[in-house]
Amino acid sequence: MSHTTFYVTTPIYYVNGDPHIGHAYTTTAADAITRFHRLAGRSAWFLTGTDEHGQKVLEAARARGLEPQAHCDAMVERWKAMMAELGIGYDRFMRTTDPDHVAVVQGALSRLHAAGELYRDTYTGWYSTAAERFWTEKDLVDGKCPDTGQPVVEITETNWFFRMSAYRDRLIAHIEEHPGFIRPASRRNEILGFLRKELGDLCISRPKERMSWGIELPFDPDFVTYVWFDALLNYLTGAGYRADGNFDDSGRWPADFQLLGKDILTTHAVYWSTMLMALGVELPRALFAHGWWTADGVKMSKSLGNTIDTLLLKEAFGLDATRYFLLREIAFGADGSFSYEAFLARYNSDLANDFGNLAHRGLSMTAKWLGGEVPPIGELTDLEQRLRRDATVAVREVDLHLGELAFQKALEAVNALVRAGNKYIDDTQPWALAKAGDDARLATVMRHVLEVCNVAAALLAFVMPERCATLLERLGQDDVGAAFRDVRERARIDELPLDALREGTPIEVGEPLFPRFREMPGVIAERLEPPAPPRPAADPTISWEDFAKVALRAGTVVSAEPHPAADRLLVLRVDIGEPRARQIVAGIADRFRPEALVGRQVVVVANLAPAELRGVRSEGMLLAAGGKAVVDLVTVDAEPGEIIR
């Protein structure tokens, strides 16, 4: 079977609570990349869904006094509604309770059992319901689950195990030989580090007497399958893999991109990969671990109750703006702190002032002075030549960056073109040309403005499907896909993406696409706290020489743990591009849980004299916002060691 269809997956979401911005994020990213490939004329397939078995869901059902199946049936509707609201065009919404998936899981289990990959054993471990997994004593942090910070219970039981350890060397070799397999690259080392330490076997069952909400082991009816073993296989069910171990002829597998939050990279990179190896199935082409949306540096999650409701954002700012913000605001792979103020600022700058404004200026001036039709192109000056190059660059950059799922960079590239379009209007001053009666030049200028709108709308349609389709329609382009392919083709072959519109086509001005918000929309304003007190009076000045003495460097937190003797302090190890990571003691334990800091990109004062803080040596300091109480860490998107001025 050959791989013919671009296949992308999201994690399947637990139905123990309502969806929030974190889930919307992964799903929107997957939807956007799928749309991009579809617009480009490729066959693409997008899988998402819900993870319905296991203890967490069972407990959520019990809390509502429902049977688990009835609970799941009801919750799934909420997840589907969220996705419909966000314009998510999945091809299949997988439910792990779907009969074809149950058959795939049982088929896989039977084959692994027959091949001697599974064995029965009795052991003792610490079980975390929140993370749905066992930990060893040394894994625990303060006696609690290291992933969730929730309590664990000691359990001794007989279970079925998968000989995962046997695949360790093969997996290490695979990761080393396929640099694109785990992305972004920084995460690859994390997984390699994990694998090089030690890899045990994986417990893949739960005794029914303790937890019966799962798929029964076909060879031992006293057990159900571990929820992760069941859940991960959904990616194969969605790819047309059958219970007998063969694929249908849809050509989806191996997946091109499997998107996931960094919290579940280990389960994917290690459990999933070794399961596939044992099943004799090719590994996916890329696992992409994106970062977390945080609230004040803490991951948003159902259990912490600090989540943002994406549907509220949609209500306030509209569907397209919500999708745009999610993918534009933070690099896919990095963490980002959510704030409504940042949303408003981003909306007003990129969408209202830049893109919406360009479209409105282009359309209304053409209607006013040129009879409301796409005007002809006359002689070109350097200004037009430059704009043409800008357009070609934008199209190519979008392509390039999306190959790496660098949504932020792709959207920045389009925004750069949009800004160039607005600057072009300012430079050419069409109002002066109209006044002077220079119709030929005016036509050339307005045509270029409309053409930039066309390129931008075609390029942004994968993120903002509604408004971009509207803008294209106003330009006389009814088929978004055709407009998109045309622009790309022109950028590839002709270098003429600004000759795409048809002269004489009537245009339509319409309402502004992204009206400016002068203040926070009411539905959000009423949820926000009163404004912070004014800042203290100006600080005394220092000379440049004084400032230049401070060596600021970009760094990445590689580990973080509580200080052994002080509750307020954390002991971090921070890579600042030197052979050895710096140990830094920081008074930020009130604000951040240690696990939330690993991978964060920070700014380090690198030449601060080392000091002992409550018995632990500290070799530098992190920059943070906030006076006495730390509000947030200063973050920078740069390689460790980069100089900051």
Least distance in angstroms from the C-beta of 139 to ligand MSP: 18
Residue that is written with structure tokens 């009423």 in the block? 526
Our CB check for ligand MSP shows the closer of 143 and 305 to be 305
Considering the complex, state which of residue 108 and residue 365 has its C-beta at the smaller distance from ligand MSP.
Answer: 108
**H/E/C letters for each residue in 410-466?**
HHHHHHHHHHHHHHHHHHHCHHHHHHHCCHHHHHHHHHHHHHHHHHHHHHHCCCCHH
Cis peptide before 515 (omega within 30 of 0): no
Q: Which two tokens stand for residue 486?
A: 């045309």
Q: Rounded distance, CA 39 to CA 472, Å?
A: 14
**Is 263 one of the binding residues for ligand MSP (CB under 6 A)?**
yes
As a whole number of angstroms, the distance between CA 174 and CA 159 comes to 29
Annotate each residue in 50-69 with x if it binds ligand MSP (CB under 6 A) or - if it does not, as one string.
-x------------------
Residue 92, exposed/middle/buried by CB under 10 A (0-12, 13-18, 19+)?
A: middle
Q: Do strands 182-183 and 552-562 pair parallel, antiparallel, or not at all (unpaired)?
A: unpaired
Tokens of 35: 């749309």
Residue type, 272: W
Among 6, 8, 12, 570, binds ligand MSP (CB under 6 A): 12
Query: Which window, 294-302, 444-452, 529-537, 583-591, contacts ligand MSP (CB under 6 A)?
Result: 294-302
36 lines the binding site for ligand MSP (CB under 6 A): no
14 binds ligand MSP (CB under 6 A): yes
User: Smallest distance from the beta carbon of 96 to ligand MSP, in angstroms?
Assistant: 9
- Read off the tokens for 632: 């947030």
Question: Could you tell me which stretch among 105-113, 213-221, 293-301, 384-392 binds ligand MSP (CB under 6 A)?
Answer: 293-301
C-alpha span between 389 and 8 (Å, rounded):
33
Helix (H) or strand (E) holding 258: strand 257-261
Closest approach, Cβ 274 to ligand MSP, in A, equals: 14
Of the pair 22, 476, the CB lying nearest ligand MSP is at: 22
Distance in angstroms (rounded) separating the CA atoms of residues 192 and 172: 7
Q: What are the φ and ψ backbone dihedral angles of 294, each rounded to 5 degrees?
A: -120, 160
CB of 14 vs ligand MSP, minimal distance in Å: 4
In the bound state with ligand MSP, the residue whose beta carbon lies nearer, of 46 and 292, is 292
Strand partners, 582: 574
Cβ nearer to ligand MSP, comparing 225 with 470: 225
Residue from 6, 8, 22, 586 touching ligand MSP (CB under 6 A): that is 22
Which residues lie below 8 Å from residue 615, measured CB to CB, with a gap of 6+?
564, 565
Question: Please, what is the minimum distance in Å from the beta carbon of residue 108 to ligand MSP?
Answer: 14
What DSSP designation does 165 have?
G
- Name every residue whose Cβ is closer than 8 Å to that of residue 471 and which is 6 or more positions away in sequence: 359, 453, 457, 513
Residue with tokens 């795939």: 104
| DSSP summary character for residue 584 | E
Q: Which of 7, 8, 11, 72 binds ligand MSP (CB under 6 A)?
A: 11
Query: Exactly one of 261, 333, 375, 620 binds ligand MSP (CB under 6 A); which one?
Result: 261
| Residue whose entry in the numeric block shows the structure tokens 């160039």 | 420
Residue with the CB atom nearest ligand MSP in the bound state? 22
The stretch among 102-110, 201-209, 295-303, 347-355 that binds ligand MSP (CB under 6 A) is 295-303
- What is the per-residue binding string for ligand MSP in 331-370, x denoting contact by CB under 6 A? ----------------------------------------
Nearest distance from residue 268's CB to ligand MSP, in Å? 7
- Interface residue with ligand MSP, options 293, 325, 347, 462 (CB under 6 A): 293
In the complex, least distance from residue 595 CB atom to ligand MSP, rounded to whole angstroms:
13
Among the residue ranges 8-16, 32-40, 462-470, 618-626, the one whose residues contact ligand MSP (CB under 6 A): 8-16
Site string for ligand MSP, 197-236 (x = CB under 6 A): ----------------------------------xx----
Among 35, 37, 299, 388, binds ligand MSP (CB under 6 A): 299
For the CB of residue 454, give the shortest distance to ligand MSP in the complex, in Å: 34
Contact 168, 195 (CB under 8 A): yes
Positions in 517-556 near ligand MSP (CB under 6 A): none
Strands 616-618 and 621-622: unpaired
569 binds ligand MSP (CB under 6 A): no
| Number of residues counted as binding ligand MSP (CB under 6 A) | 20
Contact 47, 36 (CB under 8 A): no
Instruction: Give residues with Cβ within 8 angstroms of 600, minimum separation 6.
Output: 335, 556, 557, 633, 635
The reply on whether position 31 binds ligand MSP by CB under 6 A is no
Stretch that binds ligand MSP, among 21-29, 136-144, 277-285, 345-353 (CB under 6 A): 21-29
Q: How far is CA 54 from CA 170, 261, 484, 593, 642, in A?
A: 30, 20, 44, 27, 45
**Spacing of C-alpha 334 from chain mean position:** 8
46 lies in the site for ligand MSP, by CB under 6 A: no
Residue 292 within binding range of ligand MSP, rule CB under 6 A = yes
- Looking at beta carbons only, is 78 or 396 nearer to ligand MSP? 78
Separation between Cα atoms, residue 525 and residue 307, nearest integer Å: 17
Over its C-alpha atoms, the chain yields an Rg (Å, rounded) of: 27
Binding span for ligand MSP by CB under 6 A among 144-152, 191-199, 291-299, 440-448: 291-299
13 binds ligand MSP (CB under 6 A): yes
Among 6, 7, 26, 417, binds ligand MSP (CB under 6 A): 26
**Contact region with ligand MSP (CB under 6 A), list: 239-247, 256-264, 549-557, 585-593:** 256-264
Nearer to ligand MSP, 22 or 240 (CB): 22
* Polymer length in residues for the chain: 645
DSSP SS3 for 632: strand
Amino acid letter, residue 570: L
Please pick, from the candidates 86, 264, 585, 589, the single residue that binds ligand MSP as defined by CB under 6 A. 264
Residue 300 is a binding residue for ligand MSP (CB under 6 A): yes
Q: Which two tokens stand for residue 232?
A: 């991960």
**Choice between 243 and 298, CB closer to ligand MSP:** 298
d(CA 206, CA 54): 9
Which residue, 231 or 395, has its beta carbon nearer to ligand MSP? 231
The nearest distance, CB 338 to ligand MSP, in angstroms, is: 9
Half-sphere exposure in the Cβ direction for 204 (13 Å, CA):
34
Q: Least Å distance between CB 320 and ligand MSP? A: 20
Structure tokens at 600: 């964060």
183 is a contact residue toward ligand MSP (CB under 6 A): no
Measured CA to CA in angstroms, residue 347 lies from 324, 397, 590, 644 at distances of 9, 22, 32, 28
Q: What is the DSSP letter of 240?
A: T
Q: Which residues here bind ligand MSP, judged by CB under 6 A?
A: 11-14, 22-23, 25-26, 51, 231-232, 260-261, 263-264, 292-293, 299-301
